[in-house]
Amino acid sequence: MPTLLVVDSSPFSETSVSRGLTSEYVENWKKANPNGRVITRDLNASSLKTIDAAWVGAAYTPKDARTAEQNETLALSDTLLAELRAADEYVLGVPMHNFGVPGVLKLWIDQIARVGETFSYADGTPKGLLLGKKGTFLIASGGVYDSGTVMASLNHVEPYLRDVFGFLGVTDTTFLTAGGAAALMYGQTDRATFLQPHFEVIRSQFVAA
């Protein structure tokens, strides 16, 4: 059974551009995979915490030597890892915050980037362990930071996500960006009009498949 993991990181709900994009993606994915399963993970409702010394100590302690307290420390991380392993594909809705990813998304990445779980140094060099997975990243930004624009150097979202997921073994990736969303804030366009061309790009991904 094909399985899709949907990760949303916007603090907004109905007005979120990135959530609108992931919803459209999921709708089309379900049509293409009528027998598929969808796992949803809303990072703003996941009680994510920064990793601390206790978390690091637990993560680097062999499983059979961990205390009950260490297992509890890693409980949420283990749940998030199980979701990643269960899914064949990932789709992430990512609003740009201050030229980078939202804080909750960074917290999630810190929870799932675990030695021996999603990467290893078994032979002295890093090796990603999330193999055979596909990742689609739906990015929303207030300004336009596309390659070739004057603001392109300020886009730290795509390079960061490409590097992190590549490090974890996810190299089959697609990045789709809805830039210029600030026009919605200033009343220069409406939500449906703004989203429509980006919805068409998403739909084209499934037509091509």
DSSP character at residue 44 = G
Per-residue pLDDT of 58-110, as tens digits, reads 999 999 999 999 999 999 999 999 999 999 999 999 999 999 999 999 999 99
Position 208 scores a pLDDT of 56
C-alpha–C-alpha distance, residues 97 and 102, integer Å? 5
Overall average pLDDT of the 201-205 stretch: 95
- Contact partners, residue 200, CB within 8 Å, separation at least 6: none
pLDDT at 209: 52
Ordered domains of the chain (ranges, CATH): 3-208 (3.40.50.360)
Instruction: Give, in order, the Cα–Cα distances in Å from 29 to each of 21, 91, 142, 178, 199.
Output: 12, 10, 26, 19, 13
Instruction: Please give the model's pTM, rounded to 2 decimal places.
Output: 0.95
pLDDT of 124 over the 90 cut:
no
